[in-house]
Structure 1
Amino acid sequence: MTLKMFEFIDDVINELESREIELENIAIDIKEVFRDIIGEDREGFLDVKARVKSSESLKEKILRNSYYKRFDNPSELLSNLSDLIGVRVECRFNEDEDKVYKIIKKQFRERTDEGLHYNRNYPQIILDLRERQPQKQKNGFVIYRIDGFFIKDDEKIPFELQIKSLVNLFWSEIEHKIVYKNYNYLVVDKFLKDIMASIKKNLSLMDNELLLIYNHINNKSKDNMWNQREEIEVLLSKIIYDVFADKVESSLGFAVDFRKSCDQVAKYILRSSEKDNTMDYNTILINLLERLNEIRENEVEFNSEITFERKLHFEDKFSKKVSQIIVSNMNNDFQWNLFFRIMFEIELGNNAEDFEKFIGFLKLELLDWKGSKKIDDILGEELAIQVKEEIMYKIANVFEIVESIEFIHNNNINAIVDKIQECIEFVTNEFLEMPVEQWQLKKDKVLNKFELTLLSYFSVAIPIEKANDIIEKIGENDEKISMAKNLINYYGKEVIDSKELVKIINK
């Protein structure tokens, strides 16, 4: 049975292709308008180009951004796809980008009731000029990027307008093909970014880039001697990605980035193998490589549901809740589905047993913090177990809200462990005298504060009603509680960013 997400994607692509001629004509109309507005003889201006988003690119974007969760039907998705049509104004130099932007801004002076801009001679084209330009991108560089709409028969057809100089055009093509659209596993990702940034600053200094590469490789071998476990985990993660990336691309028709998931799969498989037998890491790796070679030769189905051979069994509250959340998403979220499909393919055995082992591994990962045994001596074994279980259940609550597979990626697991450590240190330092009584008295405040800390790490938006409840539970005194509540309710918003809530509470 085909996963619903792929059925949705097929419906979206069919909708896009059925409107291909219409959208191509609109792209041409938009292109001609901007050529006319800017003026083809304008100094520094070169050309305007436009394109309709391709089916392959749209498929990849839907999966990458989980659009199948956000939109109910194909028409709604396409109506909200900001770059359904891409329009690019090309100019000669970097300083010409600002000149072209100012020309466009000057020409689009009229305003709609929503505060958007249009030109009287071309009322069918609406631009959103409210944002400051240029905008800062995730890679740290800036870009002139403007959202727009083309009005046709009362329908708003979205397009994205970019203004780029020749240098930035050349740079974006490199970044797009080598970095953004290339998910081949790169152990030296940070180094690649450093190199690309250097190229952006000065495209002509190629020998300097080669020198940076040479120095970086030498420094890697001398200064970063990882232990055997970490080396093998990195290597295995790369191999897993290479084996499955080809199969995923062959099955779906486009590349998908799931490198961080491979990191966690590799870590789980190696460390669970280490506990299950007495073989050294080299022998374990050889056995795993043999299994991966078998998988490489076999077909793997990526659009069918994952099932379990029997009912899953867990004893603690954390494991029960986390497993229920993952299972509910396993066949509804592409990244979760892919993660466990890879793990179940590599691990020989039944899916139910492998899944239970993984949840146990995840729990142990979160409990792997410095001083985890020391807490037993300070609080007593019985209270220490209770404190750990309560903290773990709060983590499960946050996981239910975040829901993303990114929650279990190594960098986030490490961050959560650090925050557990901070919470435990507070408890052991504050509750030295009469720890049982102190914990019963203050545990709600401690646990709610810990939960808010995790929510803020993941930048979760919190409903105002819940935010008021959190303030009530963790506020230090009536005056501060009242002040914090007044601050979050002042603007009349329905939600508040958890990081902002932390700042308000700590004032």
Structure 2
Amino acid sequence: MQLPVFRTIDETLCLLDKKNTQLEKIRRQVKRFWMNFFIDKQEAIVDVTSRVKGKESLREKIIRNRLYIEKDSPQQILADLSDLIGFAIECRFIDEENEILQELRSRFTIPSLTDDGYSRCEEDAHLFLELNSPQPQMQKNGFSIYRIDGYYVDHEEKVRFELQIKSLVHMFWGEIEHKLVYKNSNFYVYDNFMKEILASIMANLTILDKQLRIVYKQMDQMSRDGHGMSEHDFEQVIIKAINDLFLMKMSASIGFTLNIKNTSSILGHYLFIKDFRNESKNSDQVSRLFATFKKLNSVDLDFENEIRITGNFSSSDVFIDTLGNYLLSIINFDYDWYVFFKMLFVIEPGDDLEDFSLFLKVIKNYLVDSYWLDTSFARLPLAESEQIHHDLWKILADALVEIGSIRMIHDDKMIMINQAFVEFVNELEERVISYDDFRHYKEAYYEEWLKRIHRFF
């Protein structure tokens, strides 16, 4: 015979199913309200997220909090559940959390008719918040959070919800803590150890918040003065943030970290060129940057399971095809490349093959100016010069495959390769008199190029 606790759980989950349409409608209405409520703070608000409590989460909470004993019925369990619906107002910086709280307190000033400690604002007579409790609240894990109880009156029924105010770094930390602790009971025996790790992560995130806050203030002031942050400085901000965030994800996944500074540099450079270079240089870039970091934290990321790319890779560009097929062949065998592409595919969470091809194009253009190479050997017939261009791209790609190491895409190495390749092609341009002449000595030319590039490694 089934235990009473599980009968209560099944009845409660069944009731949740029946109320789902109503709860989803309220969730959408309240989320829309928050978006409009903070319309004047769009620069500070990164996002407003929401959810109706899921079955698995509710099942766990009924048992963990002994609701099957403390409540008289499934109806009472749902009626008293403070986070039946959850909302999170996500802001940029830690000190903006309190600013948002004060905004709520200044506008939610109309007491409820039942004098239950809740109040509403002028804009919506159905939505109530309890704003008298001290904030932030202390959690069981020893860390603080801005958490506000609320309810929405729907046809005289009070539907409870929870409102959290979280800065970007607190969103990151909450996600890490959730995966490390609540989703993995094996860590329970290491309670003190895990607390130390979480405290260390939180300390690093707080430092990151302060750094980004300083950058924002500087950029905002420069914008007001008619100046902007230099491309180099802004790119370094992106690189630093990528490096710090992925180190935390790596530590959470495998328990240790590697030196990914150079990997972060090339990813930061890639992101800057692709998404930021053509934008106006003002404080709005920081908001764009925050949205990008939120995207990085929105997906699961482990550093243990192999990368699977669906579809077949091929390119009519000989450089991209040669280097791309090599990288795909070793992506799950060379851990340096594995980590690199794990990071890349999280930064660009679309079609992995498209992202892979786009990145190779960026690398190609970074290594060699295509226009410069395609206009070399201009004194030869067009068909011959085009064939030499094709073979030179192949020579360059083959040499990179020979090197193999991820160091080939580190910024300093690519600069060296670029300078050496320009010198190499200029020498060939003076020496080669025809394509037949080039083809006759092509292997020797390749060996000469390989010797030059090996000097950098």
TM-score normalised by the chain length of structure 2: 0.46
Question: Which has the greater radius of gyration?
Answer: 2
TM-score normalised by the chain length of structure 1: 0.41
